[in-house]
Structure 1
Amino acid sequence: MAEPSAPLWVGIDVGTQGVRAVAAHGDGTVAGQGAAPLRGTRRDGRHEQDPEHWWEAVGAACRTAVEQAGHGHPVGGVAVCATSGTVLAADDGLRPLGPALMYDDGRAADEAEPLIAAAGGEAWRRVGARPQPSWAFPRLALLGRRALRPGRGDLLLHQADFLTGRLNGAPTAADTSHALKSGADPLAAAWPDPVVEAMGVPPAALPALTAPGRPIGSVCARAAAHTGLPQGTPIVAGMTDGCAAQLASGALEPGRWNSVLGTTLVLKGASEHRIADGASGVYSHRSPDGRWWPGGASSTGAGVLASAFPGVDPAVMDAAADLEHPASAVVYPLVGQGERFPFAAPQARGFTLGEPKDEADRYAATLQGVAFVERLCFERLGALGAEVGGPVRVTGGAVASARWTQLRADVLGRPLEVPENAAPAFGMALLAACGDTPPERVAARMVRIRATVEPRPEVGERLEGAYARLVDALAERGWSAAPQGAAERGRR
């Protein structure tokens, strides 16, 4: 048990469906947790949430976490992560001027390409990647035209900026992680002039920028009463939810990777140099210690099971499926249209090569297909110069399936490490605890590994032909050029 004087570090994760808060000690022990639900409105490609509801949920989740931890411990700091690309307009008193546009709100998609082209290639070189239409950049431009009131000092904010501002009692700087998909230059921590001009918004409407992990304010009296956090608690600039999950996994040194298999598949790692490739959907966040965290988000993932096998118990199918031999068919498991990573192909759609012999076989082919895409992601990153040969920290809902996790180890040909606590809120608690200490050193004492899954080379060899068949089929469709020739594809 931690000493009474040992500080707590609080992390807040604002997701699509709820807010979670974690209060942890410096050794990684979680002393308190809280959660509160969120609701939104979806219709005709639009997705909105009420920012005031975020604030209510943050208060409820934080109060529960702090009360569980007990009031005998001081709070050393708090950090917030949120969904990447969610934006809103607010007045200078941080009162929302309307609903927030969520990360997948599509109302600005049609005007994205002209705006991206207007900013120009040099601006996106500074950002580190050419935006995709789903990025926040066009949504900010839309809000700038429709919500900002001339001469009133109104602001355009990311979800995290709004909440850190509410904690502080006044607007705070935005971290370059949450602002990356809005067009921020993470190296200079500045808004490139061509990006601001293309948006058509007053420069003063955009938040100041700072690196993740930097102090940006302190909890004000009103926020202290709302959240249970002590007044004066330092507020630390956070990172996106995906980066928060990477922090929680401890995959923070070059060569280490975090693979998050939830509704979609997200890979993030660490590198000494920035890695970006628009054709592959790869871009890099700037880490708190000045390194780069490259990665990408695929459109495939565990979410395919809900659409392909509605109402089916995954545990029952796991037991029935043969995951140690190639299925009768090869599946590219894409829900809807469009792939983002390991290749950017808006026209891509899922397909099946061959005919499954039954439902269990189709299920096996689907799980194998996701694992094959994961391997292709790593091969693509390796072809771009990333170090990808070490163990992989795996998180996300799919880790609950031991057989699927074993299959992924077999296909990747490397050990998979399962962290004890992979919650993004825990990652924010870790970031709040860093101060001037490099994150990997803090992670070494806070992150614990509960299981390691070793690959079975004989199973990987049996699945090699099916993997090559999928890669060749993707190349034949013109969506993805194989990162290495078929004859060169070997076990790593």
Structure 2
Amino acid sequence: MDTTSGSPAPVVVGIDVATAAVRVLCVDASGRVLAEGKEPLPQPVRSGDRSEQDAGAWWPAAARALRAALSRLAGGGREVVAVAASATSGTCVLVGPEGRPLSPALMYDDRRAAELNAYAQESGAARWSALGISVGPTAALGRLAWYAQTEEVARPRGSRLLHTPDLLAERLTGGRTATDWSHSLKTGYDPLRGEWPTEVLDALGIPPSWLPDVQAPGTEVGTVCAAAAEETGLPEGASVRLGMTDGCTGQLATGAVRPGEFVGVLGTTYVLKGVTRELVTDPSGAVYSHRHPDGWWLPGGASNTGGEALGWFDWSRFPELDAAAAARGPASFVSYPLRREGERFPFVSSAARGFTTGTPADDAERHRADQEGVAFLERLALERVAELGVAVEGPLHAAGGGSRSALWTRIRATVLGRELRVVDRAETAFGAALLAAAGTLYGNLSEAASAMVGPGRTVEPEPREQQALEESYGEFVGALRERGLL
């Protein structure tokens, strides 16, 4: 459809429910963002192992963000044809028969069920091994068992579990919907066999009736009902489609959606994600896979280093330090900037600690050494993926706030010895919009990404710095080995 034929130009909507806010993007068939909306969410309440948020705030905030964005489209000859939502992985809430939350939502970082997750790991060891994943202390599966065992939350007949986007989908459609196999991965869904792990559910005392049906991301699960249309400004009858977790939609938004394509997301932490035709399993547990909407696999891992590990200075100084570090050139020592104790990727070690092998001459050199250290970890991550038999083809896509630094991106390209492709709108809500477009505006996700994700800009390695950084990388790996981390 287009306006030249007299028909309204089609628009898709992506919703991102992050920890602090709901963000909405309205995107046309070429990938142009036409309107945005944003509404704050109450901050999670964190105490000890507990991390909770008012799940009752999700829908009102989403409805307001939708109405704010859609009001900017009014009178523009546009027709919203589909909507999809993304949220943090593992955030969930138990609801009653009518879909109303019975308690605050248990957030992605809630650790109250760590012991139950350890038991879940033991109970389904063979299944998890085949999937190449482990049930970590913050997995949603243990929190589901906590709901089944606790006396703190009422559990009336007809209770069931919803992930964040499930609750939004039910309010949008006015009825029960399936969930997607991305948000349900940490709740225990097995995307390889296409089933919930009944042996683990039985061991943990989780009623199977609590769990939703599961379908592929991008699948239509209903259409916008009259009540939701009234609240949000969405047209009644628009397609409601399943999304993916924020990490996955962030990857999709870069255009890295075909086998061999990978993206390095440099935000608070560093995350490497890519696409393979076959499931990749890592005995160390550092790499695990979501399932691609088209049936392929999305292997990747998340480090504990990244942008937050550089937070020793006032962030308003970042441009100043970047300029000074660029003029200085490669650092004279090696840094491994770690944001907390322990590492998750590209190696797993609770004993990992950040370190430096020398003393910086000034703040500019410290800044440069930290940036190089993150780039060294990125190279180690790509080498780990290669050890598992995965070929990374073409330029590495780059996303996240760190990719806005021209210096840091150039350092990464030089350390990796490959081009980086930086996309301007590599945002979670944009990735959700791509899933809304797959099957409505386009035949599949690959077609949607090809049409809607821009070419970005290419960053080349800096030949004059390659030898110095190659030597520093060797020192970095040697220091990790000396500490027993590799």
CA contact (8 A) 1:51 1:99 kept: yes
Say which of 168, 174, 185 aligns to 1:169: 174
> What amino acid maps onto 1:16 in structure 2?
T
**Match for residue 315 of structure 1?**
319
Q: Identity percentage over the alignment?
A: 47
The answer to whether the 8 Å contact 1:9/1:75 transfers is: yes
Instruction: Tell me how far 1:149 sits from its aligned partner.
Output: 4.3
Match of 2:294 in 1: 289
Choose the corresponding residue for 1:138, options 130, 142, 152: 142
1:257 is displaced (CA, Å) by: 1.1
Whether 2:425 is the aligned partner of 1:426: answer no
Whole-angstrom CA distance in 1 between matches of 2:227 and 2:159? 22
Q: How does 1:335-350 map to 2 (within 5 A)?
A: 335-350=339-354
Contact between 1:244 and 1:424, CA under 8 Å: does it hold in 2?
Answer: yes
Q: Using the alignment, how far apart are the partners of 1:75 and 1:128 within structure 2?
A: 39
CA distance in structure 1 between the partners assigned to 2:9 and 2:32 by the alignment: 11
Task: Find the counterpart in structure 1 of residue 105 from structure 2.
Answer: 100
2:375 is equivalent to residue 386 of structure 1:
no
Q: Does 1:15 align with 2:18?
A: yes
Contact conserved, 2:225 with 2:236, CA < 8 A, in 1?
yes
Give me the whole-angstrom Cα distance separating, in 2, the residues matched to 1:151 and 1:303.
Answer: 42
User: Residue 96 of structure 1: CA displacement?
Assistant: 0.6
Of the three residues 360, 369, 377, the one matched with 2:381 is 377
1:324 CA displacement: 6.9
- Mapping for residues 75-86 of structure 1, pairs under 5 Å: 75-86=80-91
1:330 pairs with 2:334: yes
Contact kept, 8 Å, 2:116 with 2:145, in 1: the verdict is: no
Contact 2:103 2:153 in 1 (8 A): no
- Structure 1 pair 440–359 and aligned structure 2 pair: CA distance change class (3 A): same
1:299, 1:340 within 8 Å by CA — same for their partners in 2? yes
State the TM-score, normalizing by the size of structure 2.
0.94
Q: Which position in structure 2 is the counterpart of 1:152? A: 157
SS of residue paired to 1:36: strand
Q: Distance in 2 between matches of 1:311 and 1:442?
A: 36
Q: Could you list the per-position Cα deviations for residues 48-100 of structure 1 after superposition, in whole angstroms to 9, with x for gaps in the alignment?
A: 11111111111111112212122532221111100001111111211111111
Confirm or deny that 1:120 pairs with 2:121. no
Shift of 1:475: 2.5
Q: Distance in 2 between matches of 1:153 and 1:333?
A: 48
Deviation at 1:439, TM superposition (A): 1.3
Equivalent residues in 2 for 1:210-221 (5 A)? 210-221=215-226
Confirm whether residue 367 of structure 1 aligns to residue 352 of structure 2.
no
Q: Which runs of 5+ in 2 are unaligned?
A: none
C-alpha distance in 2, partners of 1:48/1:2? Answer: 45
- Is contact 1:80-1:238 (8 Å) kept? yes
Amino acid at match of 2:67: R
Once the 2 structures are TM-superposed, how far is the Cα of residue 390 of structure 1 from its aligned partner?
1.9
**1:29 aligned residue (28, 32, 35):** 32
Q: Does the C-alpha gap of structure 1 residues 251 and 158 become closer, same or farther in structure 2, counting only changes over 3 Å?
A: same
User: CA separation in 2, counterparts of 1:323 and 1:163?
Assistant: 49
**2:202 counterpart (197, 213, 226):** 197
Are the equivalent residues in 1 in contact too, given 2:330–2:465 (CA < 8 A)? Answer: no
Q: Deviations over 1:241-267 (max 9, x none)?
A: 111111111011122111111101111
Q: How much does 1:455 deviate?
A: 1.1
Contact persistence 1:126–1:185 (CA under 8 A)? no
Q: Deviations over 1:378-428 (max 9, x none)?
A: 111111111114201111111221111111111111111111321111111
CA drift of 1:135 comes to 2.2
Say which SS state the counterpart of residue 206 (structure 2) adopts.
coil
Partner of 1:241: 246
Q: Which residue of 2 aligns with 1:468?
A: 474
Offset, 1:36: 0.9
For residues 90 and 344 of structure 1, the distance between their equivalents in structure 2, rounded to whole angstroms, comes to: 36
Alignment check: 8 A CA contact 1:90 1:96 kept: yes
Aligned partners of 1:181, 1:10: CA distance in 2, in Å? 26
Counterparts of 2:201 and 2:283 in 1: how far apart (Å)? 21
> Whole-Å Cα distance in 2 between the matches of residues 209 and 476 of structure 1?
46
Following superposition, the deviation at residue 212 of structure 1 comes to: 1.0
Alignment correspondent of 1:488: none
Structure 1 residue aligned with 2:261: 256
Residue 397 of structure 1, aligned match among 378, 401, 404:
401
CA contact (8 A) 2:131 2:281 kept: no
Which has the higher mean CA deviation after the structures are superposed, 259-268 or 318-327?
318-327
Q: Distance in 1 between matches of 2:438 and 2:330?
A: 45
Considering only aligned residues, what root-mean-square deviation do their CA atoms show, in Å? Answer: 1.9
Partners of 2:328 and 2:229 lie apart in 1 by 54
Q: CA deviation at 1:476?
A: 2.9
Secondary structure of 1:235 counterpart: strand
Displacement after TM superposition at 1:126 (Å): 4.9
In the alignment, structure 1 segments of 5+ residues that lack a partner are: 481-492
Q: Note if contact 2:291-2:298 (Cα within 8 Å) is conserved in structure 1.
A: yes
Residue 302 of structure 1, CA deviation: 0.4
What's the secondary structure of 1:337's corresponding residue? coil
Does the 8 A contact of 2:221 with 2:241 survive in 1? yes
| Equivalent residue number for residue 410 of structure 2 | 406
Which deviates the most, 67-76 or 235-244?
A: 67-76
Partner Cα separation in structure 1 for residue 306 and residue 203 of structure 2: 34
**2:274 corresponds to 1:276:** no
SS in 2 for 1:421: coil
Aligned partner of 2:137: which letter? P
The yes-or-no answer on 1:477 pairing with 2:483 is: yes
Task: Say which SS state the counterpart of residue 339 (structure 1) adopts.
Answer: coil
Q: Using the alignment, how far apart are the partners of 2:155 and 2:428 within structure 1?
A: 38
Distance 2:203 2:217 in 1: 26
